[in-house]
Amino acid sequence: MFRWTVKQPADGLVVAPDERLPWPQTVALGIQHVVAMFGATVLGPLLMGFDPNVAILMSGVGTLIFFVAVGGKVPSYVGSSFSFISVVIAATAYVGQGPNANIAVALGGIVVCGAVYALIGLVVMSTGSGWVERLMPPIVTGAVVAVIGLNLAHIPIKNMAPTAFDAWVQAITFVTIALVAVFTSGMTRRLLIVVGLLVASVVYAMLTNGLGWGKPIDDSLLAKAAWIGMPNFTAPVFDSRAIVLIVPVALILVAENLGHLKAVGAMTGRSMDAYIGRAFLGDGVATMVSGGAGGTGVTTYAENIGVMAATRIYSTAMFVVAGLVAILLGFSPKFGALIHTIPLPVMGGVSIVIFGLITIAGARIWVDNKVDFLDSRNMMVAAITLVLGIGDFTLSFGGFTLGGIGTATFGAILLNAVLSYGKK
């Protein structure tokens, strides 16, 4: 599990899951994966009123749990799942500002959801993954992965650029990352997200703090924060209404995780099918542990899959590093303050790139599995699923609300099942 073949860095080098670069480069790449995840892993809990430091800490713990569950064979980071946002808000009546006063009842639902998810993993491990793959073939998993990126696209564009100046900063950020990806080489290209974020932040500081063109960077919170401190852990409370609302998210996580595994398999050229049940189990246990400590529900992270797609380095070693770094950062209020110091439009520009790469990872599942879009069934499943997700189509059942990612996921599964009826 902890043995990797060492490869020396070179332009165009592909590093397989059971390989790694020398430790200095592996550590740098692990830190990049922490950077790639923390925008969403911090944004998710903030939207639900959770403590970001707890979420970061639990993402690190969850990543290590996942690594052990899959025997170190599947390169993935585990972080806050956006699939929980709408149901947590419904269960807690959260108003959207400050700490969530009813976080405990949401945590109880998250723990039970994780248990159901883990149970599905155990069933898959004992019966095989054939039934899951029949339920969710490449047309479905590709659509679900693509929808995740497309559904989140409005967040950086609509919510992270409140002024025209901020929109230009976002453009500077994603153009910088694109230039790094295309015109640099070696470790600079491998660290394109980190390099792009740093360059864009420096440019932002010059334009705002230097020239006064926009909202300047305020480092007062960073200066006051302690280097080491305990996050605000919270114990779960098991409320039947919250549990009923939150548990169905387990099926969304199954489809999401299956899509991620297919995407990783397509990128690495190695089938991850043998680890599907173990991946579900690891993700489910990680969700239970996170919810039990006050963190959000977690999932394998498409943002990090996007980074792997850009760098072509799939070593699981860098995710061990990333998990350990996230744990350390979770115990640092200084890091939590640093997150709030990064200019919002810069994080928005980074998110545009990452969400775009998620979308392309979904499309790649279709390409690599030679999905036939001349088949009317495939065309209808993909077309309807994408619009449900992009348009954030929402359905309500009493007190339960199913948002865009959820309706797109269940819609893809049900549409495919109905339209495939009688097909051999």
DSSP track, 178-246: HHHHHH--HHHHHTHHHHHHHHHHHHHHIIIIIT--SPPP--HHHHHS-SS-----------HHHHHHH
Task: Return the pLDDT at 225.
Answer: 82
Answer for the pair 369, 138: CB distance below 8 angstroms, yes or no. Answer: yes
* % of the chain with per-residue pLDDT over 90: 34
Residues of the chain with pLDDT under 70: 11-12, 38-40, 43, 86, 95-98, 186-187, 190, 399-401, 422-424
Task: Return the pLDDT at 400.
Answer: 64
Give the single-character DSSP code of 82: G
User: Per DSSP, what are the bridge partners of residue 396?
Assistant: 401
Give the single-character DSSP code of 19: E
The 10s digit of each residue's pLDDT in 104-161 is 999 999 999 999 999 999 999 999 888 888 888 889 888 887 887 787 787 788 877 8
Give me the helix-helix angle, 249-268 and 302-311, nearest 10°: 10
DSSP track, 322-342: HHHHHHHHHT-HHHHHHHHHS
User: What phi and psi, each to the nearest 5 degrees, are found at residue 79?
Assistant: -145, -175
Task: Return the pLDDT at 385.
Answer: 92
User: Per DSSP, what are the bridge partners of residue 20?
Assistant: 6
Beta strands in 361-424 (DSSP E): 395-397, 400-402
Task: Return the pLDDT at 96.
Answer: 59
Answer for the pair 256, 365: CB distance below 8 angstroms, yes or no. Answer: no
Instruction: Rounding to the nearest 10 degrees, give the CA dihedral for residues 52, 53, 57, 62.
Output: -10
Q: Which amino acid is at 265?
A: G
Task: Return the pLDDT at 39.
Answer: 63
Task: Return the pLDDT at 109.
Answer: 95
Handedness of CA 351, 355, 356, 361 (dihedral sign): positive
Q: Which amino acid is at 167?
A: A
pTM of the model: 0.75
Report the distance separating Cα 152 and Cα 41, nearest Å: 13
Task: Return the pLDDT at 11.
Answer: 66
For residue 140, what are the CA distances in angstroms to 132, 274, 302, 330, 390?
Answer: 11, 19, 16, 35, 16
